[in-house]
Amino acid sequence: MQKTAVPMTQGNIGKQIVFFALPIFLGNLFQQLYNTVDSVIVGNFLGSSALAAVSSSGSLIFMLIGFLSGISAGAGVVVARYFGAKDHENMKTAIHTTVAFGIVAGIVMTVVGMALSPQILRLMGTPENVMEGSVSYLRIYFSGSLAFVMYNVFVGILQAVGDSKHPLYYLMVSSVVNLILDVVFIVFFHSGVGGAALATVISQVVSALLCLIQLVRTKECYRLYLSQIRFDLPMLKRIIEMGLPAGMQNSIIAFANVVVQSNINAFGEMAMAGCGAYSKIEGFVFLPITSFTMALTTFVGQNIGAKEYERAQKGAKFGILLTMILAELIGIVVFVLAPQLIAIFDSHPEVVQFGVEKARSAAWFFFLLAFSHSVAAVLRGAGKAVVPMVVMLVCWCVIRVSFLTITVPLTNSIQMVYWVYPLTWSLSSLAFLVYYKKIDWARKLTGWK
């Protein structure tokens, strides 16, 4: 029987990182494609107002789900450490505790998200003409919170033990399901933005169930036993210690983006639609970044667990450089083809103008975005998740929000919203570069044995 759990503690470093990241990349590509299909169908069949309603919900969704995804990432680091050290008993305890946490967190998120959607959207300054659609989309989306959370938990476990292929297969299936349901609900049943949200929820349930079946049926050391799902308090503490900084980092970034979205909302429906269309394009920029940062966290975690410190450092350098190159190449494509790409979602000239301006303000700086995320992933794998959390808090939240609070009222220009991203990417990259060069993060600051 072919093993799906692949230790990354031996063999060719570049080959292992690339071959681990490639299925993640393809999986993220399918996910981004079906998210993009949502926006294309909404924008073309329901109009600019509906696209604005969906777009206004994106930052809020990421703020809540991103927090629990960060906890799942921390749990993955713990699992990867035990897997690399061949400590299967503690690994099993970590897996079952993580699943128990995910179930509780998913239920809480469902209740909170559905109850508070209108209030939060109003705090974001969502225009009244898109409020009804935004609330409908958000509430249906949050009704599937348990599936979203458990999918992230299950994928985190599989990737921590070196299995990045099965999540790809399941995401491909859910992408097809989402595409079919989008067409059925929106085009044939005319169910509006709620139909787009429902299609996403159902497709996520499918992928979560497929991951669960894989974990329950596998014969390998990371098998999930439903009867053993319970909290182990010492292990839960360790998981939260590793995952809380990453979760807070995600939420910090998303909170700042909620502030950014609030500033965009002030410029009207067309600005919301144009910037929302650009955000879907930017999602493709994140594909190599997300893929290699996941690979880097797993690689570093496993190798530090196995006390292969030099190997962890070599892998980190390789992954960071490759991620920066790929992100910048995509940035060049985005800069050149921005008008055509924005028009796919909404061909209204004003919408295209807003989207193109935002795209061309950011595109040349994607290598900085890649560098910040890559170094943060390496540090998380090394058990130093607090460092990227602090850097992101200062650069991507405090400075970003302060910049907008001061400049937008003074200038009344949406250009300030566009340029806040390159500015804060530059500052975080500088901070990470100084830290990475001066600190022996692999040996001295692992923070966990």
Chain centroid to CA 21:
15
pLDDT digits (tens, 9 = 90+) for 256-294: 877 888 888 888 888 888 888 888 788 777 888 888 988
Q: What Rg do the C-alpha atoms of the chain give, in angstroms?
A: 21
Cα distance between residue 25 and residue 172, in whole Å: 12
pLDDT digits (tens, 9 = 90+) for 135-167: 887 788 888 889 989 998 999 899 888 888 898
Cα distance between residue 37 and residue 17, in whole Å: 30
DSSP assignment of 51-110 equals HHHHHHHHHHHHHHHHHHHHHHHHHHHHHHHHHHTT-HHHHHHHHHHHHHHHHHHHHHHH
Separation of first and last alpha carbons in the chain: 33
Least confident of 89-93, 118-122, 363-367: 118-122
Torsion of CA 198, 119, 133, 262, to 10 degrees: -110
Cα distance between residue 291 and residue 24, in whole Å: 5
Q: Determine the pLDDT at residue 424.
A: 95
Cα distance between residue 47 and residue 337, in whole Å: 23
Q: Determine the pLDDT at residue 48.
A: 65
Q: Determine the pLDDT at residue 281.
A: 85
Average pLDDT value for residue range 359-383: 92
Domain map of the chain by residue range? 16-438
* Burial grade of 211 (CB within 10 A; 0-12, 13-18, 19 or more): buried
Cα distance between residue 176 and residue 348, in whole Å: 29
pLDDT digits (tens, 9 = 90+) for 202-261: 998 999 999 999 999 999 889 999 999 999 999 999 888 888 887 887 777 777 877 888
pTM of this prediction? 0.74
